[in-house]
Amino acid sequence: MNGHTATPWQVGRTLHTPQTKEWPAWAWEKNEHQERLGIYRNFRAEDQGTSRIVIAKAIPDALGSQEEAEANAAFIVRAANSHAALVEALRAVEWVGLLMGDHTCEMCPQCWSHKQGGHAPDCQLDKALRAAEGD
């Protein structure tokens, strides 16, 4: 896991609470733009966001608009969540069992190396997994 907070991550949103239900539309919209800059783990309406873990905040600055910063936060969330799914999918197909006579050999479907010996030095699947996992 490389030490980072486990996925899934989410961008923030304004939660329906007794307090926020009283807000005028402009206040709701203003808060919504602030929430969309936040990247969180465990952001749940059930506990009104109290158990959320802040991962990061996108910050609009002189060179980047609010809209762009919100899009960046959403992209970071998609990238983190899809990264985890892709690593899981690659690990699921990393070794395939092939029947060889009376026994099954586990081999990489990309470099066709046996699992016992590990991947070939130039195996793309191995390179992708190493890059994804920070090796």
Residues that bind Zn ion (CB under 5 A): 108, 110-111, 119, 123, 125-126
- In the complex with Zn ion, which residue's Cβ is closer, 58 or 108? 108
- In the complex with Zn ion, which residue's Cβ is closer, 64 or 109? 109
Residue 38 pairs in a beta bridge with 57
Minimum distance between the CB of residue 79 and Zn ion, rounded to whole angstroms? 25
Q: Quick one: 39 exposed, middle or buried, by C-beta within 10 A (0-12, 13-18, 19+)?
A: buried
Task: Enumerate residues 6+ apart whose C-beta is below 8 A from 37.
Answer: 11, 12, 57, 58, 59, 60, 69, 70, 73
Minimum distance between the CB of residue 103 and Zn ion, rounded to whole angstroms? 20
Helical spans, DSSP H, in the chain: 25-35, 66-93, 124-132
- In the complex with Zn ion, which residue's Cβ is closer, 18 or 121? 121
Contact 45, 12 (CB under 8 A): no
- In the complex with Zn ion, which residue's Cβ is closer, 47 or 133? 133
Minimum distance between the CB of residue 83 and Zn ion, rounded to whole angstroms? 20
Minimum distance between the CB of residue 108 and Zn ion, rounded to whole angstroms? 3
